[in-house]
Amino acid sequence: MISGAAGFIGRPLCAELFRQGQAVVATVRSNNLPIDDVENLTISTIDCDTDWAKALVGVNVVIHLAARTHVLKDIESDPLAEFRKINVEGTLNLARQSAKAGVRRFIYISSIKVNGEKTVSGKPFTAEDRPAPIGPYALSKHEAEDGLCRIASKNDMEVVIIRPTLVYGPGVKANFLTMMNWLNRGIPLPLGAINNKRSLVSLDNLLNLIITCIEHPGAANQTFLVSDDEDLSTTDLLERMAVALGKSARLFKVPIHLLEAGAGWLGINTVYQRLCDSLQVDISKTRALLGWAPPMSVDIALRKTAEYFLCSLSDKRKLASKH
C-alpha cells in the first residue's frame, strides 16, 4: 500500500511496481486523481483518527509518502502543531494500524532535514549522525521517526526509514522548476562563482532504493540516506541543466559575500542558503547494507527532467493557442 500515491514520488512508484507485477493499493486524497492500473482508495484526511482498515486488507508492505511538506511562508498560527497532526500523529496512527493488520514492513520516506540544514566542507551527513532538525517540518519528521522506532520495538513489524536529499525528475516543482525556467528563458544569473557542494537524488534513483527496501533483509529497522552519489555546486548544476535543456547557461560571477549581502537586503536569506550553502550526504551505509548503488547518472537524470519540462511547455503553448 502506498500513501500519497498521486504525488511526485507516489505516482511513478505505483507505475513501476505495477510494471514489476506487484499488487498495489494506492491511497489518494481525491478520487479525481486515480492511479492507472492499481486499486485506488480515497483517504480525505490524514491524522490521528484516520481509518486505514480498507487500505490495509491483505497488505504486507506499507510505503508512507503522504505528508505535510515544507512550507516557506506558512500562514498557520502554530505551524508545528499543523505539521504534527499529519506528519507525526497521522504517521504513527497508520503505523499502529499497520502493525495490528499484520503488515510485515513499513517504509517511511522522511527527509534529510532531520540531519540538519547544511554541512561543512569534508563532513557530509551520515545515517548515524545525531539528528539536528531545524524548523517545524524537520522536527515533525524527526518525531515521526522516533515514534516509528518505538512501535517497531514493540511489534513484529519492521520499519525502514529513508531520508532523501532534494529530489528532482520529471514533474519536479518548487526551486528546481524555477531554475529550469530561468535557464530556458536565457535569464542572466549571478551564480557563476558558487563553490558549494550539494547532494541531490533523481526520482529514478530514489524509486530504485525504495523498491530495493521492500524485500531486502538488510533494510529491516534501519535508516538510510540516499543521493546520486555525485555532489554538485550550484554553478555546476546550472551548467549541466542548461546542457540538458539545449541552452547556454548565462552565468556571471559575483563574489559570495556580495550575494549574501544582497540576499539580506532583499529579505531572501532562505533563497541564498539554498543556492549557496553546502549539504552533502554519505551513502556508504546504504551501499554496504543493501549492496545498492544509484543506477542512473546525474546527466541522464537531468536529461529526462529537461525533456519532460520542455514537453510540458509545448503542451501548454498548444493549449493556449486553441483558446
All cell numbers assigned to 273 = 542558503
Is 151 a residue whose pLDDT tops 60?
yes
State the pLDDT at residue 1. Answer: 96
Inside any domain, residue 82: yes
Confidence band (pLDDT; 50, 70, 90) for 263?
confident
State the pLDDT at residue 230. Answer: 96
State the pLDDT at residue 70. Answer: 63
Say how many domains are in the chain. Answer: 1
Inside any domain, residue 273: no
State the pLDDT at residue 77. Answer: 73
Is 308 among the residues known to form the active site? no
Indicate the average pLDDT of the chain: 92
Per the residue annotation, which of 108, 137, 272, 308 is the catalytic one?
A: 137
pLDDT tens for each residue of 106-136:
999 999 999 999 999 889 999 999 999 999 9
Mean pLDDT confidence for 142-158: 96
In percent, the amount of the chain with pLDDT more than 90 equals 78
Q: Which domain holds residue 18?
A: 2-171+199-231+280-296
Confidence band (pLDDT; 50, 70, 90) for 74?
low
Is 222 a residue whose pLDDT tops 80?
yes
Is residue 91 within 8 A of residue 63, CB to CB? The reply is no
Inside any domain, residue 181: no
All cell numbers assigned to 126 = 551520515
The model's pTM: 0.93
CATH number at residue 98: 3.40.50.720
More confident position, 169 or 316: 169
State the pLDDT at residue 121. Answer: 81
Is 287 a residue whose pLDDT tops 80?
yes
Mean pLDDT confidence for 281-294: 97
Is 30 a residue whose pLDDT tops 90?
no
State the CB neighbour count (10 A cutoff) for residue 90: 25
Inside any domain, residue 265: no
Closest C-alpha to 10, from 171, 138, 228, 177? 171
Is 176 a residue whose pLDDT tops 80?
yes
Mean pLDDT confidence for 150-156: 94
Inside any domain, residue 244: no
One-character DSSP codes across 172-232: --HHHHHHHHHHHTT--BS-TT----B-EEEHHHHHHHHHHHHH-GGGTTEEEEE--S--B
Is 73 a residue whose pLDDT tops 80?
no
Inside any domain, residue 222: yes
Mean pLDDT confidence for 160-173: 96
More confident position, 24 or 38: 24
Is residue 111 within 8 A of residue 163, CB to CB? The reply is yes
Inside any domain, residue 90: yes
Inside any domain, residue 275: no
pLDDT tens for each residue of 249-259:
999 998 888 88
More confident position, 322 or 59: 59
Mean pLDDT confidence for 46-69: 94
Confidence band (pLDDT; 50, 70, 90) for 79?
confident
State the pLDDT at residue 71. Answer: 58
> String of b and e for 251-269 (b: at least 16 CB within 10 Å)?
beeeeeeebeeebeeeeee
State the pLDDT at residue 76. Answer: 66
